[in-house]
A and B are shown apart, each in its own frame.
Chain A
Amino acid sequence: MDTQAAGPRQPRDATNWAAKVDRLHVDDAVREHGYNIEGRRVAGPQQGFGRLWQRIYTADLGTAVTPERLVADWRAHFGEYWPKVGRFYGSVSAIQPGDVAPLASGPMATGVLVLYADETSFSFLTPEGHMFASMITFSGETALEGSTVATIRILLRCSDPLFEAAWPALRRGEDYFWPHTLRNLGAAHGVHGIHVAEDTECLDRRRLWKNWTNVRYNSGIRSGVHLLTTPFRPRRRTGPAA
């Protein structure tokens, strides 16, 4: 029987995961947009409040692009495929594990941590205060017929009672946002008018009442306060003194 004399083998996924952090930190370049995530912890579905939903959006892109090429492009231009209602302040280069990216939807500011990335998928975890305590995975997969299917898979709980009360509206917002993203992604690869399929399943109808205190991080409230207090906040110098 062979025995291994060398140290422990590195797992194949060693470089695909974000390094462990206790609190999220935002790069100086985008700090002004990261006020709702600086210093926050991640919040996966088990840290949320509302019912647990699994939502899956899929779009068949035919053979115009391979899954690897699709995901490489998606990682490199992620925010550019968003509809205009959202803004992603990610890295200027391709999304990498460990990136902390602020994002804005209208006046509401929050962000994501890039938890995982490989050649055919990448995943985000949301921070405390985001409307969802969630993990979202973007992937390119080969269907049985050989075509490339772009998939967005979301496992989420609304973060707090206020967001949970707004779930019907938030769900409609998601049903606008992600299909548009997939259509923009498809169009970038010459595939127009694609049909986006959506599947939603409630995995847990219980609400996690012990997490109701998440409301203290509510990014909607905090963004509103931030906006109202803008005139009273000292401005940061960004250029040479006059």
Chain B
Amino acid sequence: MSTPAATMAVAELATGAAVIEIRGDVTAACEQALMTAHEQATDAGAKLLVLDFSAMEYMNSGGIGMLVTLLVRGQRRQQRIAAVGLTEHYRQIFELTRLDEAIGLFDDTDAALASR
């Protein structure tokens, strides 16, 4: 039984900032969708990428690996990556894996934008 991959929706937040709304299961299977969303946001000139996890239902360790890859892509383009909408469970996973040292964690998109 295959796990349905997450869907990604890109929207502009402000000049130079975009949000990627992630919905569903975050696993390695959605890497292509996330990289496509990243390219879309980059083509629109985003230097701040906000990953909105509020509609994420599940994440496995493949999801963490995928975020590491996204980080590398973002760093190559001098982009900052932030995350919003994480429940306490997922926030602790980001802290355990020390992903929070590279991806800023914020309560909402306004806070992420204010950090620029």
- The answer to whether A and B come from one shared complex is yes
Binding site of A, secondary structure by majority: helix, strand, loop or mixed?
A: mixed
A17, A18, A43, A155: the one contacting B68 at CB < 8 Å is A155
Give complex CA distance A115, B102 in Å.
19
A8, A11, A115, A204: the one contacting B61 at CB < 8 Å is A115
Give complex CA distance A86, B72 in Å.
32
Cβ-defined contact, A11 with B62, below 8 A:
no
Chain B residue numbers with a CB within 8 Å of A44 are: 64, 68, 97-99
What is the minimal beta-carbon distance from A153 to any residue of chain B, in angstroms? 7
Which residue in chain A gives the minimum CB-CB distance to B71?
A46
Cβ-defined contact, B65 with A47, below 8 A:
no
What is the minimal beta-carbon distance from B65 to any residue of chain A, in angstroms? 5
**Interface residue ranges of A15-52 to B (CB < 8 Å):** 16-21, 41-47, 52
Which residue in chain A gives the minimum CB-CB distance to B103?
A46
Which residue in chain A gives the minimum CB-CB distance to B59?
A13
Chain A residue numbers with a CB within 8 Å of B62 are: 121, 137
Which residue in chain B gives the minimum CB-CB distance to A122?
B61
B107 in the interface (beta carbon within 8 A)? no
A203 in the interface (beta carbon within 8 A)? yes
Known A-B contacts A13-B59, A20-B96, A46-B101; A203 and B65 likewise in contact (beta carbons under 8 Å): no
Known A-B contacts A21-B96, A125-B97, A204-B72; A155 and B65 likewise in contact (beta carbons under 8 Å): yes
What is the minimal beta-carbon distance from A9 to any residue of chain B, in angstroms? 9
Cβ-defined contact, B96 with A46, below 8 A:
no
B93 in the interface (beta carbon within 8 A)? yes
Give complex CA distance A8, B86 in Å.
13
Known A-B contacts A46-B71, A46-B98, A46-B101; A14 and B65 likewise in contact (beta carbons under 8 Å): no
Counting residue pairs across A and B whose Cβ atoms lie within 8 Å, the total is: 79
B92 in the interface (beta carbon within 8 A)? yes
Interface size grouping (class) on chain A: 20 to 34
Cβ-defined contact, B58 with A47, below 8 A:
no
- Chain B, residues 72-116, CB within 8 Å of chain A (1/0): the string is 100110000000000101101101111101100000000000000
Cβ-defined contact, A46 with B102, below 8 A:
yes
Cβ-defined contact, B68 with A135, below 8 A:
yes
A123 in the interface (beta carbon within 8 A)? yes
What is the minimal beta-carbon distance from B103 to any residue of chain A, in angstroms? 9
Give complex CA distance A208, B111 in Å.
28
Cβ-defined contact, A46 with B93, below 8 A:
no
**Interface residue ranges of A50-102 to B (CB < 8 Å):** 52, 54
Chain A residue numbers with a CB within 8 Å of B72 are: 52, 203-204
Cβ-defined contact, B99 with A46, below 8 A:
yes
A116 in the interface (beta carbon within 8 A)? yes
Known A-B contacts A11-B57, A12-B57; A18 and B96 likewise in contact (beta carbons under 8 Å): yes
Which residue in chain A gives the minimum CB-CB distance to B72?
A204
A198 in the interface (beta carbon within 8 A)? no
Give complex CA distance A14, B95 in Å.
15
Q: Which 4 A-B pairs have the closest CB atoms?
A: A123-B61, A116-B61, A20-B92, A20-B96
A-B contact pairs, 28 of them (CB 8 A): A8-B87, A11-B57, A11-B58, A11-B87, A13-B58, A14-B89, A17-B96, A19-B96, A41-B98, A42-B96, A42-B98, A45-B68, A46-B68, A46-B71, A46-B98, A46-B102, A52-B72, A115-B61, A116-B61, A121-B61, A123-B61, A135-B68, A137-B62, A153-B65, A155-B68, A204-B72, A204-B75, A204-B76
